[in-house]
Amino acid sequence: MAGTKGSSGGSGGKVPPRPGSRPPAPKRPAGRKGNVGAARPIGRASARQVVQQRRQRNIYAASGVVGVVVVMIVLLIVLSLGGTTSPKVHVGSDSYALSASLINEVTGVPVSALVASAKTEPSGTAPPQELPAKNALLTQGGKPEILYMGGEYCPYCAAERWALVMALSKFGTFSGLRGTTSSATDVYASSPTFSFYGSSYTSKYLSFVPVELYTNIANSNGWGTLQKPTAEQSALLNKWDAPPYTSASEAGGIPFVYLAGRYVLTGPQFVAPALSGKQFEDAAAYLTSGKNSGSKDAEAAAGYLVGDFCAITHKQPAGVCSQVPASLIGINMSSPSSRGSTSTTKAATSPTTTGAKTATTLGTTTAAKTATTS
C-alpha cells in the first residue's frame, strides 16, 4: 500500500500581518547570531514545517509498507494451513486421508512379529532376488536408495505396499501416507492399500523414492498418469525388470522395487485376495492380526525386506537389526531358506481399463501371464 501524502501547508515563506497591526514593513534582514532582539530569518519557520511534513509522510509510507508485509504474512499462513487439509499434490490421485491411528496400526507391527512370520517361510511369500555383487550401489543423499515403481490401479502393487510400509517404518518415518484402492475391474478388485503419491519418508539409514506411475481413475486412454519416471529410473526398470529376473512375458511390469542395487523385486512378494472389497480399516486389522494366512504372508514379506535392509545398512539401526537372525540378513531367492517360495505375476505399467494386464518396458508391450507357483 502506498504511503499517504501529507498536506503541503506552510505560508510560502511570508509572515502574514497580525490583526489590527500596521501595514507590513519592508523586508527585514536576517538576524545575526547573538543578537537576541533581532528578527528571525523569514524562511526558517516554513523550513521547519517542511521537515515535519516530510517526516510525517515517511512515517505514513513506512506504516503502509509494514501493513502490506503483515497482510502478505497472514495470507501465506492461511494458504499454508489450507494446504494441509487439501494438498494440491493429490490432484488427479483417487486417494483419501487416513487417521494416524490407522497408519500406526500398520507401522506398529513389531519387528519380532515380522521376523517370526518370515522364519516360517510361508509358501505364499517370496523374498527379493540378489543382484550381481559388482553392481553399483544406488544412493540418494549419501544413503542407500530404495526405489519403488507402481500404480494405484495395480492389485499386485496394492499388496506390496502393505509390506513396504511395515518394513520401511522400522528404519524411518512416513508422512503424508494416504489410502487408495486398486482397480474395480482387475483381479482382487478394489483392494484397499496405501498410496505413496505425495508422501515423504525420513530416515537416517535409507532413502525411499516412490514413483506412482498411474492413478486408478480411468480415462479414454486407460489410467491417468500421476508421475513420470526419470530417465535413470526407466533405465533401471528396463535393465533389471527383465530375464533372468523375470520372464520375458512379464518384463517391465509393476510393482518394481530396486533395493539400492543389491536386491530387486520384479513382482509382488505375495498376493492378498482377501482384501478385495474391504474397507481400509478392516484390511489393516486383517493384515496386522497375525492370525490368518494373509497377515502371515504380509508380515513375512515385510520380514524379508527388513532382513535385506539390514544387509544394505550394515545392520543399522542396531535396535532393529539385532532382532533379525543371520539367516534373514540379506535373504534372497537364492538363499537356501527361501527355495520353494511362490513367484507371483505382476501388473502392467501401461494397462487398459478392461482389467487385462500387459507388461511393458515403458513403450514396448507384451502379454503378461497369470500367477504361477514354482
Query: Which pLDDT does position 338 carry in this prediction?
Result: 59
- Please check whether residue 17 lies inside any domain of the structure: no
Question: Which residues of the chain, if any, have pLDDT below 70?
Answer: 1-91, 337-374
**Distance in angstroms (rounded) separating the CA atoms of residues 145 and 108:** 23
Residues 200, 62, single domain; the answer is no
The predicted structure's pLDDT at residue 98: 98
Residues 231 and 286 in one domain: yes
Q: Give the pLDDT of residue 57.
A: 61
Domain residues for the domain of 164 are: 90-361
Please report how many Cα atoms fall inside a 13 Å half-sphere around the Cα of residue 255, on the Cβ side. Answer: 34
- Given 28, 62, 86, the domain boundary residue is 86
Return the ∠ at Cα 16 (arms to 10 and 20), rounded to 5°.
150
Which of 19, 54, 86 terminates a domain? The answer is 86
Q: For residue 61, what pLDDT is reported? A: 57
- Cβ–Cβ < 8 Å for 130, 162: no
- Look at the alpha carbons of 79, 80, 83, 87 in this order and tell me if their dihedral is positive or negative: positive
* 97 and 175, same domain (yes or no): yes
pLDDT tens-digit map of 75-104: 554 444 443 333 444 667 889 999 999 999
Question: Per the structure, how many domains does the chain have?
Answer: 2
Q: Which three cell numbers stand for residue 158?
A: 496394492
Over residues 185-239, the pLDDT tens digits come to 999 999 999 999 999 999 999 999 999 999 999 888 889 999 999 999 999 999 9
Helices (H), strands (E): how many in the chain? 8, 14
Per-residue model confidence (pLDDT) at position 369:
31
